[in-house]
Chains A and B, each alone.
Chain A
């Protein structure tokens, strides 16, 4: 059932876009039929399908990392970015885009394109993650770790603000565009990279399902149930970093999905069992991103709206509605 919705959302996503391509032709292109407009063929295969796949991967991946964080921290407000991963990525991108003009030493980095931004932002997020990990080895209290992650997020966000203040309008604009997030413009090669990262994250998460269920009772109970708390904590944090960092690198900082989709899935399935939740958040995350991306590139419109805004504008009311309607938070 869910798979079907995902399939429909996928088809809808690739058949709609700024260039109107009839539905029948989309089908023909997909299944190797011949059509008159070769440019349509190009649009579908080189633009829309990679974009749709990126949407599924990033939506599912972010939702999964959000689930991991919420379970590990036993906190419904945790998301993939609580460890400062997103701000780290922003800092990386900001230094590359805006810092190049400020420090002459950085002019070698002057070539700002999609790939170098991806590299810079993933470096930024992993740097912050490394610092947080170093702190995590000293701090035993998971709640304190959560707050420390948020503090690192604030610091990096502040650094980005300072950079922005000293930057010329042109570069600032470029950075703001990056921060809007986008699932488009990925080549098949980049897509392969992204899917390997997400796949690895999914595999590790599946292997951790049993300990994730133990974490539902809290860290102490998990330990008394035989979970190697230290090891599994590292595993879960690294997996989150891998997923959120990797996705942010390619698609920009996409907010909301990671926080909201786990809540949506828990409400809909009325369960906290990770055997159900892990596949559920992957599929829901994928669907949500596909739908949001379809709205962002509203059919026939020339403009592509920032996906980061769409996810929140259309997703937040759904979550609010669910919570108000059920009058009870499932967590």
Chain B
């Protein structure tokens, strides 16, 4: 089946990111489409989370443009943007006395009235996400009672309940074991494909990203490339990611090898 041309939802051109005058990374160009799972990868401290937060308007960009659904990020009011982008951050959840249901319900805030009343539409959406992420049995649990893997699913559910075309996740698989890492990755892939969402995550699991993501944004500081995993492998983009005397990349298997 030949799919129709996918719609570009998130576009960044000549982007420079950082804090105030301190530039973290520049010349970032990416264009992400609806129905695609993308991963931002790179070594520690290269600016993956900074890029993610900049895309989500949680911190100002230094230079360049970001377009969301064809309009510049700066033209959106906070409440409008909340219906376009939802975010899952790495920072620990402080309010862990919320129940799973309450936490997910907060995702409906952009759609509720000033008092935050949940209407039929909202509770339907929350039930949907509970179902999709297999959280029905947990819905009355408090967040502190959950395991790391469950909590990550709940946070994802909250973002999903926000019903936005774009979902950004900052390192959704840290603290998880291999099985749960793969589980989250596959879940995200299914959601992106079936619900036509643009999902972007940062991760250190480059091998997993190569196998499961539709798109990879490779941050290297001065040179930043993005594209499909096989394209990037063909360009030898991963070869120089780590110092070659320690870790080297095997293009045929798409995996990294430790040099002994």
Query: Residues of A with Cβ closer than 8 Å to B?
Result: 74, 207, 209-210, 213-214, 216-218, 220-221, 223-229, 266, 270-273, 275, 330-331
Contact = CB atoms under 8 A, between A and B. Distances in A.
28 contacts: A209-B116, A210-B109, A210-B115, A213-B106, A213-B116, A214-B106, A216-B95, A216-B98, A216-B106, A217-B93, A217-B94, A217-B95, A221-B89, A223-B57, A223-B58, A224-B56, A224-B85, A224-B87, A225-B109, A225-B110, A226-B78, A226-B80, A226-B82, A227-B78, A228-B78, A270-B97, A272-B97, A330-B97
A217 B110 contact: no
The 7 A-B residue pairs with the shortest CB-CB distance, nearest first, are: A226-B82, A216-B95, A226-B79, A210-B116, A224-B87, A226-B110, A225-B109
B156 to A, nearest CB: 13
Interface of B: 53, 56-58, 78-83, 85-87, 89, 91, 93-95, 97-98, 102-103, 106-107, 109-110, 112, 114-116, 162
A331 B162 contact: no
Contacts of A221: 87, 89
A218 to B, nearest CB: 6
Contacts of B57: 223
Nearest to B53: A220
Given A218-B94, A228-B78, 11 more contacts: A74-B94, A74-B95, A207-B114, A210-B109, A210-B116, A218-B91, A220-B87, A221-B89, A224-B86, A226-B79, A275-B116
A221 B109 CA distance: 11
A272 B91 contact: no
B171 to A, nearest CB: 14
B162 to A, nearest CB: 7
B78 A220 contact: no
A223 B94 contact: no
A217 B81 CA distance: 18
B81 to A, nearest CB: 7
Contacts of A218: 89, 91, 94
A261 to B, nearest CB: 17
Contacts of B79: 226, 228
B82 A217 contact: no
A210 B106 CA distance: 9
A192 to B, nearest CB: 29
Contacts of A216: 94-95, 98, 106
B151 to A, nearest CB: 13
Contacts of A217: 93-95, 103, 106
B10 to A, nearest CB: 15
A226 B81 contact: yes
B98 A272 contact: yes
A93 B91 CA distance: 43
Nearest to A214: B109
Nearest to B111: A226
Given A221-B87, A225-B106, A331 B97 contact: yes
Contact of A225 (B82, B95, B98, B115): B82
Contacts of A213: 106, 109, 116
A163 B57 CA distance: 49
Nearest to B168: A224
A97 B42 CA distance: 63
A226 to B, nearest CB: 3
Nearest to A219: B58
Contacts of B87: 220-221, 224
Contact of A271 (B93, B97, B109): B97
A68 to B, nearest CB: 15
A216 B137 CA distance: 24
A210 B58 contact: no
Nearest to B159: A224
Contacts of A227: 78, 109
Nearest to A224: B87
Given A216-B95, A217-B95, A224-B85, A210 B112 contact: yes
